[in-house]
Amino acid sequence: MEWAPLRGAEQVLSRVFAISDGLLGGLLPEPALPDQERRVDDLWVAQQAHGAWLNALTTGARPTDERRELVLAPVLEVLDSRKELIVGVAPGSVQADTPVTHQGVLLGFVRPWRRGDPAVEVAGRARVALLGHGQARPVAAVWKASEASDAVHFVLRTRERAPTLVHSSLDLDPPQGQLAWTRDVSLLGDDLPPGLLLGRLTHRDAGQGDQPGGGVASPDRERGPDILEPVLDPNQLGYVVLEASVGSAQDCRRSVGHLMHSGSRLGRLRLDIGAWQGVQAGDLVVQDGVLVGVVQTAGPWSSIVHRGLPPGKLLVVDENGEVVPTGLEAADWPADWRPTVGQPVLSGHRELGGLLVGSVDSVGPDGFGLRVPLIDGELPVTVIER
């Protein structure tokens, strides 16, 4: 158990450690050099990870004109009760009704910060109305049961705080769990890209939710409108993709430091830079495209780095270059998917792209284990604002 007074004393002593670290490093046991052949392989994978991660996030999205570009916006807050996301953007760079996507999935639209106020950004923060939010605009959509089936066009609107199918082109019931996508209605002046995944269609009984005790509706109960269930959990998203003015991407704070021989141990590392150099808790520590860890605490002169994973989904890359968003636990895996030992596992950053966090080391019924990449304690690391 770490007490705050002890942590404070340790930070004070770290100033002494930093001055004498070279001497202490000579007296302490020599750390084992990393397997250079394996490290070279890790660095090569890390270099390839940038494009794989970026392409996976931006799939299907596109800017509407040459004055706009796609940018990655960090998710700062999830307001489940209001069906909203708060994302970080550059001041004055986004517009109302801008589509917000992730991995080719349409999440919602940028909305005014306050009702009746045209401003959509305040102090670098913007609101995203998720599908199902009362201010999310209607979406032209389509579902198709199979390649040989007729396409069914419909409009997705929010009713009773749920995305609901209206104005269907054919009187057909979608199969339970049928996927739906946006469709091309550019001739009507709508620039929303076609082919963005919306979610899964599900049936709802008329009056569902009104039965006392949550009883099951009778078989002959009248069926209500079909609704849309999301395929992504907003709480698991670290970044979203949206359209902004060209050149408006936010710059990230970064600092360069070294790992200290003293004060470092298995699972926890100490850096020779701290709050006076701008380091903050939650920052990412990177070496040559490999994620070293996350800053746990930042003292005045040094920082403690936990060799763990940042929050949000991980991305597993298969042999064909396909990128699958997932978590370590089996409950978070996509349906009908199972990782394979040796597959690279990535996290991401809006400026650096994909960061290598390891590879699949073992696969079991409860999840998969991670083999962390090797780092070189003699080389510098970069601390980057998440």
What's the confidence (pLDDT) of residue 31? 46
Parallel, antiparallel, or unpaired for β 68-79 and 84-88?
antiparallel
Spatial separation of the C-alpha atoms in residues 265 and 243, rounded to whole Å = 43
Residue 22: Cβ-neighbour burial (10 angstroms; 0-12, 13-18, 19+):
exposed
Parallel, antiparallel, or unpaired for β 139-143 and 178-182?
antiparallel
What's the confidence (pLDDT) of residue 35? 67
What's the confidence (pLDDT) of residue 210? 41
Domains within the chain, CATH numbers bracketed = 1-60+247-386 (2.40.10.340), 68-131+234-245 (2.40.10.340), 139-209+220-229 (2.40.10.350)
Q: Which residue has the tokens 């080389």?
A: 379
Neighbours of 78 (CB within 10 A): 18
Neighbours of 35 (CB within 10 A): 11
In eight-state DSSP terms, residue 212 is: G
Alpha helix positions (H), the chain: 4-27, 36-58
Q: Tens digit of pLDDT per residue, the chain (386 long)?
A: 444 444 445 555 555 555 555 554 544 444 445 566 777 777 777 777 767 777 777 777 777 777 788 888 888 888 877 888 999 888 888 888 899 998 889 999 999 888 777 788 888 889 999 988 887 888 998 988 888 888 889 888 887 667 888 888 888 888 888 899 999 888 887 888 898 999 888 876 555 444 433 333 344 434 456 888 888 888 878 888 888 887 766 677 888 988 887 666 667 888 888 888 889 888 999 998 889 999 988 888 888 898 888 877 788 888 777 778 788 888 888 878 889 998 888 887 777 777 888 889 999 999 999 988 888 877 899 998 87
User: Is the distance from CB of 201 to CB of 178 less than 8 angstroms?
Assistant: yes
